[in-house]
Amino acid sequence: MRHLPTLATLADDLASGRTTARKLVETCLERIADETGEGSRAFVRVDGEAALATASAMDILRKNGTAPSAYAGIPISIKDLFNIQGQITRAGSKVLNDAAPAMADAIAVARLRSVGFVLVGRTNMTEFAYSGLGINPHYGTPLNPWDRKTGRVPGGSSSGAAVSVSDDMAHAALGTDTGGSCRIPAAFTGLVGFKPTAHRVPLEGCLPLSPSLDSIGSIARSVACCATIDAIISDRPAPARSERPLSALRFAAPTNVVLDNIDAEVATAFKTALQQLRDRGAQIDEIAIPEFDRVAAINAKGGFTAAESFAWHRDLLASKTGDYDPRVSVRIRRGTEQTAVDYLELRTQRKSLIEDTARRIAAYDALVMPTVAILPPTLNELASDDAYGRANLLALRNCSLINMIDGCAISLPIVRAAAPVGLMLAAGSGKDHALLSIAAVTEKIISY
């Protein structure tokens, strides 16, 4: 992963004249068009002509000293959940084929455009973002770059986003994260995925899954890349470079829930990463977090995602049931199991969960745990609905804990592992800058 360019090195190359925006975009478009690659499954729409025109404009602006930012001209992909002016937002589905084109860009997209990023296309995803595996029966499933011959899932729901970066079809990707949708595909493909505190980036112009849990994040090649994207789409300053050594940091490694039913390869990689951090002086306390044990019961009737997605999809389900992926529609319909009282109680229980967990972890700089408990399954292994359901729950479990406690989290690749395994660092609400700084220090130890 680390031989590939970061946003910072690309910006340097553009500034020095070693490359041009047009050349960067042409290379990405060539990768997308390669019939032997995953471009046709990773993207549901490619905007080649517009991307080339924008790149040429950025080259002219840079030559005149008026480029909007150092990143002007760098190609980026956009998850098919975001409005792009003049385009239909299908959310990886056929259900919205007759929807009206968007009148304006989503706020996050507009902010990326404002600094000159070039949108190369819309990336494939789990239909309506409702799964952690990344399978899409409508547009095809982009295959994981690891063990591609066997045919493994890329993780979801931001599946095409991750593959667009892993396969050099874009240099960063805009995604969403409701229960792990940036972090899971990042962990499965050896990339970095960041989920900010939910309120940090405005959701306007992004089709909802669960407004209570939805957040907008990124998938890229380094912590610094994700921090750059976050600063732009949140319209906040980038985090200052941390001077704190690893020996000054205190981590909590949860011993309950997050290690249950963990694959042996994931357990070994996680244990190795913890030892690497300890060897560099980090204090890591292995502790139980009883609040995590409450989450399954809180979500017993489908939780916020079922209730809130059903509210949005109710009329569409009534008129276009046959157009949905059955594995998605069955989960949305779980919203019918909840009464108004159930939903209000759900909100009360989550508020208590957030407060109790905040107190529990207050003494720690970050939580550390495996991003995903399993390795990327093969498509064949998920042929039955039962196998799919089990794998989906395990893929989502660890990441979704952080969405439930309204936290922020980032997944880093453990590069010495034989298979793609992610290490997740997480912190409480609003601690995004501190977490990104900690991740930058941690990355140097486990991801190089």
- Residues 159/130, Cβ–Cβ less than 8 Å: no
What pLDDT is attached to residue 239? Answer: 78
User: And the tokens for 39?
Assistant: 């471009």
Candidate list 93, 158, 164, 181, residue with the active-site label: 181
Q: What is the 3-state secondary structure of the chain?
A: CCCCCCHHHHHHHHHHCCCCHHHHHHHHHHHHHCCCCCHHHHEEEECHHHHHHHHHHHHHHHHCCCCCCCCCCCEEEEECCECCCCCCCCCCCCCCCCCCCCCCCCHHHHHHHHCCCEEEEEECCCHHHCCCCCCCCCCCCCCCCCCCCCCECCCCCCHHHHHHHHCCCCCCEEEECCCCCCHHHHHHHCCEEEECCHHHCCCCCECCCCCCCCCEEEEECCHHHHHHHHHHHHCCCCCCCCCCCHHHCEEEEECCCCCCCCCHHHHHHHHHHHHHHHHCCCEEEEECCHHHHHHHHHCCCCHHHHHHHHHHHHHHHHHHHHHCCHHHHHHHHHHHHCCHHHHHHHHHHHHHHHHHHHHHHCCCCEEEEECCCCCCCECHHHCCHHHHHHHHHHHHHHHHHHHHCCCEEEEEECCCCCCCCEEEEEECCCCHHHHHHHHHHHHHHHCC
Strand partners, 122: 45, 78
For the domain 1-291+357-448, what is the CATH superfamily, name and number?
Answer: Amidase signature (AS) domain (3.90.1300.10)
Residue in the structure block whose two tokens are 């039913």: 261
What pLDDT is attached to residue 3? Answer: 65
Task: Answer yes or no: 79 catalytic.
Answer: yes
Candidate list 77, 79, 215, 447, residue with the active-site label: 79
- Residues 192/444, Cβ–Cβ less than 8 Å: no
Task: Answer yes or no: 157 catalytic.
Answer: yes
- Compute, in degrees rounded to 10, the torsion defined by CA atoms 430, 434, 439, 442: -140
pLDDT in tens, the chain (448 residues): 446 899 999 999 999 999 999 999 999 999 999 999 999 999 999 999 999 999 999 999 999 999 999 999 999 999 999 999 999 999 999 999 999 999 999 999 999 999 999 999 999 999 999 999 999 999 999 999 999 999 999 999 999 999 999 999 999 999 999 999 999 999 999 999 999 999 999 999 999 999 999 999 999 999 999 999 999 999 998 877 777 889 999 999 999 999 999 999 999 999 999 999 999 999 999 999 999 999 999 999 999 999 999 999 999 999 999 999 999 999 999 999 999 999 999 999 999 999 999 999 999 999 999 999 999 999 999 999 999 999 999 999 999 999 999 999 999 999 877 899 999 999 999 999 999 999 999 999 999 8
User: And the tokens for 162?
Assistant: 């991750």
- Residues 200/226, Cβ–Cβ less than 8 Å: no
C-alpha 94/C-alpha 91 separation (Å) is 9
Candidate list 157, 210, 222, 309, residue with the active-site label: 157
What pLDDT is attached to residue 1? Answer: 41
What pLDDT is attached to residue 238? Answer: 85
